[in-house]
Amino acid sequence: MTKAEKTGKADTAESGRDDETVSRFVERFAAQLVEAGMPRMPSRVFAALLASDAGTLTSAELGEQLRISPAAVSGAVRYLAQQHMVSREREPGSRRERYRVHSNQWYEALTNRDAVLKRWEDALREGVTSLGPDTPAGRRLAETVAFFEFVHGELVGLMERWSVRREELFGQGRP
């Protein structure tokens, strides 16, 4: 196992990459995530993990790379773990945790969102009953329920098609 694989940090000589170029990518991609509504610090941590060869970094490595405090790393990782975008792993024989982004993080994130949409759908359905299906508010909620039902059905098919496509591109079956 190379040093980069053990630490998640790629030596510039080993990877052939310029640290400054990688840092610019991390910040640009993080900015795109922020624009999409993700909090800034989790965006930066996620982008740094995504850009690491091993897909895993410790709190100290993230803090050093991003020039942020351990508390900032902790809060960002907590958010990302709740969103199913990263996982925590203990280093064998150590009390240190490593944070990992998986190759199927987008699949996991969308699957998690699907569960959230399903809960919203159920709550909105109750709202239609409470408000009355013939009231303007009830009709608006019924349309929202129908939209979420549609999205749920499409997402199931989309994930199945992605599994097939992923196998074709990368030789990996179902995430």
Average pLDDT of every residue of the chain: 86
Handedness of CA 135, 136, 137, 141 (dihedral sign): positive
Q: Are residues 75 and 113 in the same domain?
A: no
Q: Are residues 27 and 88 in the same domain?
A: yes
Q: Are residues 95 and 109 in the same domain?
A: no
In this prediction, residue 156 carries a pLDDT of 84
In this prediction, residue 30 carries a pLDDT of 97
Q: Has residue 121 been placed in a domain?
A: yes
Domain edge (last residue) among 82, 100, 118? 100
CB atoms within 10 A of CB 90: 10
Q: Are residues 40 and 91 in the same domain?
A: yes
Residue 91 belongs to what domain range? Answer: 3-100
Q: Are residues 111 and 67 in the same domain?
A: no
In this prediction, residue 173 carries a pLDDT of 57
Domain count of the fold of the chain: 2
pLDDT tens digits, residue range 140-164?
Answer: 999 999 999 998 889 888 988 988 9
pLDDT band at 112 (very low <50, low <70, confident <90, very high): confident
Model confidence at 1: pLDDT above 60? no
Give the C-alpha distances (Å, rounded to integers) separating 121 from 37, 104, 152, 159.
22, 26, 10, 20
Q: Has residue 175 been placed in a domain?
A: no
Q: What is the CA radius of gyration of the chain?
A: 20
Match 């060869």 to its residue by tokens.
Answer: 53
Q: Are residues 80 and 110 in the same domain?
A: no
Which has the higher per-residue pLDDT, 172 or 83? 83
Sheet holding 87-90, edge to edge: 56-58, 97-100, 87-90
Q: Of the candidates 104, 21, 20, 17, which has an alpha carbon nearest to the alpha carbon of residue 55? A: 104
Which has the higher per-residue pLDDT, 115 or 133? 133
* Tokens representing residue 127 in the block: 């709202």
The answer to pTM > 0.85 is no
Model confidence at 14: pLDDT above 80? no
Domain edge (last residue) among 43, 76, 100? 100
- Helical residues (DSSP H) of the chain, grouped into ranges: 3-7, 12-15, 19-35, 40-51, 59-66, 70-82, 105-131, 136-170
